[in-house]
Amino acid sequence: MLPVLNTPGDSPEDSSRRAGLCLEDWSNEVAPRLDAALAMLPDCLLPGLLLRGWLDDKAVERIDTVTLNTVVGENLLLRNVATEIRGSAEGARSALGKYSSSPSNASRSQAFSKVMTLRIILQQSPKNVVLP
Amino acid sequence: MQLRIFSVYPADRLWSFWLDRQVDERQVANLDPETFQQSDWYDESGRFLVLVHFSNLLKDEHKERAAAIEKHWRDLDDGVRERVWWLVYSGTGYWDLVSTIPGVHYFRNPVSREWLSDDEKRHFRQFVSALEADEQIGATIWAKLYPTENVAAATLLALLTSSELTDIQPAINKLLAERRMESLARAHRQFAARVKQSPKTPPTLDFWVAALGEGNYSTVRDQLVEVLGAVPD
């Protein structure tokens, strides 16, 4: 999607077609995967996932609470990862919608910027359980 | 074993830096099968790793294109095929494409232009080192690109790093009693890399690696006892 978003259309019709493709790609490919991943955050990154059954519930809760305050990116706490991604995804979805409804270089550029921001946040997010 | 690494179409990743090795960048137009997908690319001796970025020309849903790429690998000459590996990556990662042959792999994780985590770099370097070794390479070579799914080791690691937050001794004892030692040894190695401070002098990473390299589990275990207190037999 990003290479398409990063290329101006040859004509208004071409821009409109590109915008439609990007929105379709978002709806069919990106959004369902993002929703599935976000539904598991941040629980799938907490050490409690591994520690239940070995430590009592109170200890697991304490460790998870400390872990949620771990800095995992620039000004980004683990507890805020899902919120940040959701916010960025909403920004990308909205920008793609605007690009699709009124295709122009400005709306295309805005959509590119929003999708790129989302990608950077996703790439910088932890991929494994975060240890305290 | 001599290994030559190519980065093709478009060569815009920092592979040389990430792998800490020479990587020859080659521009290859589109999915042109007349280039790295031909035997004459590999007329030297030794092994070849080709890092391929097809961009939007190969996405998860492009099963037929993937099949064509795999056919080109199968069509490499005898004597060449077993020396050539194509690692296909993208900025978003391949979620669905799974190679049907040993010489081609679609990397699951996204590879950004500018950044690769230290953990990912380590796995890529281990993978390259394995290709450089004289041993025969099997189809499981690609597994070196990914962290081992070792739940026991990860659990021990999580317990160890929780030591300042709660009493982990009963859980450590139970885990050591129930789980296999090689899993735990791996956890020790990971733990050692993460040790930042300890009430006593922490064992160094070099120590752990040397001890584990000799398969001397009891030495590792003794050190663990020293750091954490008594551990049952």
Tell me the pLDDT tens digit for each residue of A36-87: 888 888 888 899 988 998 899 999 999 999 999 998 877 889 999 999 999 9
Q: Give which of B76, B109, B104 is closest to B91, Cα–Cα.
A: B109
Nearest to B165 among A4, A66, A124 (CB): A66
Nearest to A129 among B115, B154, B167 (CB): B154
User: Residue B226 has what pLDDT?
Assistant: 55
> Which of A50-59, A74-83, B22-31, B72-81 has the weakest average pLDDT?
B22-31
With CB atoms and an 8 Å threshold, state whether A47 touches B95.
Answer: no
Nearby residues of A45 by Cβ (< 8 Å), 6 or more positions away: A67, A78, A81, A126, A128, A129, A130
| B160 compared with B34, residue with greater pLDDT | B160
Q: Which positions 118-177 of B are in contact with A (Cβ < 8 Å)?
A: 119, 147, 151, 154-155, 157-159, 161-162, 165-168, 171, 174-175
Nearest to B115 among A3, A59, A123 (CB): A123
* pLDDT band with cut points at 50, 70 and 90 for residue B76: very high
Nearby residues of A49 by Cβ (< 8 Å), 6 or more positions away: A43, A129
User: Residue A35 has what pLDDT?
Assistant: 87
* B55 touches A at CB < 8 Å: yes
The predicted complex's ipTM stands at 0.74
Report the DSSP beta bridge partners of residue B85.
B49
* pLDDT band with cut points at 50, 70 and 90 for residue A8: confident
Angle at A63 between CA A60 and CA A69, to 5 degrees: 140
Chain A hits for B166, CB-CB cut-off 8 Å, are: 55, 59, 62-63
Q: Give which of B182, B153, B172 is closest to B228, Cα–Cα.
A: B172
Query: What is the value of pTM for the model shown?
Result: 0.56
| B152 compared with B50, residue with greater pLDDT | B50
Helix (H/G/I), strand (E/B), else coil: B7? strand
Which residue type does B3 have?
A: L
Report the DSSP beta bridge partners of residue B104.
B86
Does residue B208 carry a pLDDT above 50? Answer: no
Does residue B217 carry a pLDDT above 70? Answer: no
